[in-house]
Structure 1
Amino acid sequence: MPSHLSADRSAAQPPGRGSVDALISQTRRLKGDVDAVRRDTPADGADPQERFQRALYDLALHQLNDLDEHLAQLRDDPPRASGPQSPPPPAPRHDSLLSRVGSAEWNLLTDEASWSPELYTVLGRDPAAPPLTLDELPSLVLDEDRPRLTSMVTGCLVDARPIDGEFRVLRPDGGVRTVHMMGEPVLGADGSTASMWAVLRDVSELRRCRRAVSETRDSLHHQRQAAAQTEHRLAVELQEAVLPAWHGSLRLPHTGPRTAAHAHVGPPQLDIAARHLPSSTGPRIGGDWYDALDLSDGTTLLSVGDLTGHGVGVASARAMLLGAVRGMAMAGTAPGPLLTCLNSLLDAAVQPALGSAVCLRYRPGTRLLVWARAGHPAPLLFRGGMGRALDAPDGVLLGASPGTSYGQAEETLEPGDLLLLHTDGLVPGHAGAAATHRLLAALSPHLAGAATAQDCVRAVVREFGEQRREDDACVLVARVTA
């Protein structure tokens, strides 16, 4: 087919043979590199990520093969078609570039059509049949794609817009092929459209590769979503198991080894309430915990802590840690040695983790509080409308330093005293001493007149619970009632 020029642009000079040969060499080297990596990726592995990578490699190789054949055709410069009377070309190699790219011109002045022999192969037409005119061409196109073809041709002929789009054709053998069409109007001397030329390429195999990549990517995305949902559900179940919802104040008698959730009626010594405040940035399950346990020797154990990280692994480690805390407390281990054992436990775990904790043991008969901490904010004591942080013993993060021993501190409480234990995330945007000062300043006026521990927790939630927080947090309030 003779080449044409639009009236408003000049002909471009074809590249030299040597430069095309260089491009072909570069393309083939790249094909070899991609294929070498592709061979190392299992084709039917169980890992969805590997299947996705293999599909991408297949698509890249397919496009590089096309580029190689395009460049070879450009270098060899095969004869162009001269019209319907051109002699038929040799039978093309199956699925070669020549069988997938053809060209055509439609003369609007004479209503003549000129197809290259390759276009007959692309559209599955008999080479002896006359080429289809623009009015007849839509008869090959699937019904749902005809409006797209009509719009492209109309835009080219009426508005002189280039054509660049795809449509599907139904071949006589029943096969459906996807064809990519690129074309331009050819302007006459008066500036009107005299004819239209186009290059049509069978891109069915390329679209199949891209579809396989897309489907594999979607499958991988769905599998990751399902795995994330399963992990989140497990983490939630573990959290609910170790952080049961507390409704109202919990009164812990000292008449037997009862847990806070199953305390029976008896002379109240401590009025306890707690709350877990979830993160506002998403459904991430963190490692915060609170716990209260009535021990067999008449003392009460209070603990609050946090493990770094999120998800099932952290929730599982938290359950293990809390179980260890309860077991050692039931065996009579004091807070300092208890944290020393927890530090060794985290250091020896299969997946080492870092954590902070504060552990308190309260004896109602003498109102003596013995406590220890590991890299955690000290408990806050509110008395007579004033608040202060308890003098903290030394204690580094759990799991940070093997062989560390943790010291203890003591405090004698009075009736009406209120203890507030919390994790770092309670005051958004503040940590350490800044968070302590913020809590003391904000809560001292509100907690002085609180009648129950639950009222105190409500005051804390009103002050800090509605703020946007990056991480979850826990707060536990214990009020000395006698």
Structure 2
Amino acid sequence: MPSPVSADRSAAQPPGRDSVETLITQARRLKGDVDAVRRDTRSDAADPEERWQRALYDLALHQLDDLDAHLAQLRDGPQPTAPVPAATTAVRPAQAGTPRGSLLTRVGSAEWNMLTDEATWSGELYQILGRDPAGPALTLDELPSLVLEEDRPRLTSMVTDCLIDGRPIDGEFRIVRPDGDLRTVHMMGEPVLGADGGTASMWAVLRDVSELRRSQLAVRETRDSLHRHRRREQTEHRIAAELQEAVVPLWRGSPRLPHEAPPALDLAAHRLSTAPSGAIGGDWYDALELGDGQTLLSVGDLTGHGVAVASGMAMLLGAVRGMAMAGTAPGPLLTLLNRLLDTAVQPALGSAVCCRYRPGSRTLVWARAGHPAPVLYRDGAGRRLDTPDGVLLGATPGAVYGQAEVTLRPGDLLLLHTDGLAPGHGGSTGGDPLLDLAPRLGAARSAQDCVRMIVEAFGGSGRANDACVLVAEVTS
């Protein structure tokens, strides 16, 4: 294409070959670095954020391919308009290192002479538009025949504004190649003034940006998918948190059971939550006065996180309360609870400790299912209560749970907790840091003070899972 004098300035002189070669080297080095990082991401990843990252890497590579191709053309000059014989179609040295699918043939140029109605195209433009290089270049009147019908008004407007008002062209339209392939073309150009000041011709650079636009579309779609995924997660987290708070309040300090006067147990409980954005688990605690004057004490944990687990925990706690109110003893209660989980639509696993306290005899009847045994603090020392082990709820159909009985004394402290309080501890062997709290808890004035001490010792930041703690002190 000739170097015309545009409507407002002379054409810029091309940079030196050495400087362009340096830019090409830098662009290809950067492209290699980006591609190396891109290969570490999975295109078929289930995580929406990983798919979005992969799409961004693809887009960056397309843009670097584009830059590489532009610089190579700037260095080598335009391809000839005449078709190249098959024997000479080998990759030229200038194209060495250019990846397959490069944009090297996707940038073309054209000039339309308004005085002679002649058109001149570069060889690249014939390839972009899918035209035979041996055929004539299309005039401005003929060019819309290649353009998708709904984009023709846009092309007409750009050309008219350029020729009549002297405005630069900068816009896109879609073309349909003779082989039926749909391509997106970006066109930039200016009017060229003649000696009399009138528009003598129009020149333009046309780029095939189809791959670039597809990559940008992939980025938008994966970004939107990521945003939807995050909004859904936020909504589910809020619902689960509200459900958890409604069923298991964060703090329950020294509640007075409604019909006890004076109370036989001083009770306090606390739920230790993860960070505000952390997953909501299925931990619960409960203290309930039963109709026969006895008291139900229970803690448990349903495995998993999210709304389904929070709602399952609420269902499980409701079942515990209902069976306890009906007089079911702890062992048979866990047997029925296991059967309930086994028949649930969505299989789940859970653990629990269930206790009934009889204030008249100060007797505690209790059972457990795959859960840490309660800790009894007495006379400045602590120990885990002994009972036959029971399997996790929902793990073994038809499992039967035994129960144990222990007589308490005034001043005794009973601690029930879930696994998240002291992970890795709570079995019958190995060190148990909860037992080391015995001297401090023995000096506490109330169950609420005991809970505060336990939270101070085990409720630090960085907690991976929720946990619940329930303390009962025998007062009389």
TM interval, short-chain normalised: 0.5 to 0.7
Aligned to 2:462: 468
Aligned to 2:308: 313
Structure 2: how far apart are the matches of 1:322 and 1:250? 18
1:239 aligns with 2:244: yes
What per-residue deviation string (whole Å, max 9, x for no partner) do you get for residues 403-426 of structure 1? 111001000000000000011110
Aligned to 1:449: 443
Aligned to 2:170: 170
- Matched residue SS, 1:231: helix
Structure 1: how far apart are the matches of 2:365 and 2:105? 87
Number of residues of Structure 1 aligned to a counterpart in Structure 2: 334
Are the equivalent residues in 2 in contact too, given 1:281–1:469 (CA < 8 A)? no
1:50-449 correspondence runs (5 A): 80-81=80-81, 100-102=106-108, 116=122, 119=125, 170=170, 178=186, 202-252=207-257, 254-255=259-260, 266-280=261-275, 282-428=277-423, 430=425, 432-433=427-428, 437-441=432-436, 443-449=437-443
Structure 1: how far apart are the matches of 2:235 and 2:18? 64
TM superposition shift of 1:101: 3.6
TM superposition shift of 1:279: 2.2
Aligned to 1:163: none
For 2:236, the aligned partner's letter is E
Aligned CA distance change for structure 1 residues 477 and 98 (closer, same or farther; 3 Å): closer
What per-residue deviation string (whole Å, max 9, x for no partner) do you get for residues 93-125 of structure 1? xxxx99954269xxxxxxxxx972655998999
Structure 1: how far apart are the matches of 2:400 and 2:105? 79
Aligned CA distance change for structure 1 residues 120 and 435 (closer, same or farther; 3 Å): same
Are the equivalent residues in 1 in contact too, given 2:384–2:428 (CA < 8 A)? no
RMSD: 4.4
TM-score scaled to structure 1, two decimals? 0.60
Aligned CA distance change for structure 1 residues 121 and 327 (closer, same or farther; 3 Å): same
What per-residue deviation string (whole Å, max 9, x for no partner) do you get for residues 410-456 of structure 1? 00000000000011110256463468621102x11210111100000
TM superposition shift of 1:353: 0.5
Structure 2: how far apart are the matches of 1:437 and 1:79? 79
- Matched residue SS, 2:251: coil
TM-score scaled to structure 2, two decimals? 0.61
Are the equivalent residues in 2 in contact too, given 1:358–1:371 (CA < 8 A)? yes
Structure 1: how far apart are the matches of 2:258 and 2:241? 30
Aligned to 1:92: none
Are the equivalent residues in 1 in contact too, given 2:251–2:271 (CA < 8 A)? no
- Matched residue SS, 2:300: strand
Identical counterparts, % of pairs: 59
Are the equivalent residues in 2 in contact too, given 1:417–1:479 (CA < 8 A)? yes
Structure 1: how far apart are the matches of 2:310 and 2:417? 18
Structure 1: how far apart are the matches of 2:18 and 2:248? 79
Aligned CA distance change for structure 1 residues 213 and 267 (closer, same or farther; 3 Å): same
What per-residue deviation string (whole Å, max 9, x for no partner) do you get for residues 44-102 of structure 1? xxxxx9xx99xx9xx99xx9xxxxxx9xxxxxxx98248xxxxxxxxxxxxxx999542
Structure 2: how far apart are the matches of 1:6 and 1:356? 74
Structure 1 stretches of 5 or more lacking a match?
A: 9-48, 64-69, 71-77, 83-96, 105-113, 128-141, 143-167, 181-199, 256-265
1:479 aligns with 2:453: no
- Matched residue SS, 1:432: coil
TM superposition shift of 1:465: 0.9
Structure 1: how far apart are the matches of 2:293 and 2:286? 17
Are the equivalent residues in 1 in contact too, given 2:79–2:123 (CA < 8 A)? no
Structure 1: how far apart are the matches of 2:412 and 2:303? 31
Aligned CA distance change for structure 1 residues 398 and 428 (closer, same or farther; 3 Å): closer
Structure 2: how far apart are the matches of 1:460 and 1:413? 21
TM superposition shift of 1:475: 0.5
For 1:445, the aligned partner's letter is P
Structure 2: how far apart are the matches of 1:98 and 1:389? 76
For 2:453, the aligned partner's letter is A
TM superposition shift of 1:207: 3.0
- Matched residue SS, 1:437: coil
Structure 2: how far apart are the matches of 1:251 and 1:98? 81
Aligned CA distance change for structure 1 residues 121 and 458 (closer, same or farther; 3 Å): same
Structure 2: how far apart are the matches of 1:241 and 1:217? 36
TM superposition shift of 1:462: 1.1
Structure 2 stretches of 5 or more lacking a match?
A: 2-15, 20-47, 63-68, 70-77, 83-102, 111-119, 130-136, 141-157, 159-167, 176-183, 189-204
TM superposition shift of 1:358: 0.2
Structure 1: how far apart are the matches of 2:418 and 2:401? 19
Aligned CA distance change for structure 1 residues 282 and 430 (closer, same or farther; 3 Å): farther
Structure 1: how far apart are the matches of 2:206 and 2:376? 80
Are the equivalent residues in 2 in contact too, given 1:271–1:452 (CA < 8 A)? yes
Aligned CA distance change for structure 1 residues 365 and 461 (closer, same or farther; 3 Å): same
TM superposition shift of 1:393: 2.2
TM superposition shift of 1:210: 2.2
Aligned CA distance change for structure 1 residues 271 and 179 (closer, same or farther; 3 Å): farther
Structure 2: how far apart are the matches of 1:434 and 1:201? 77
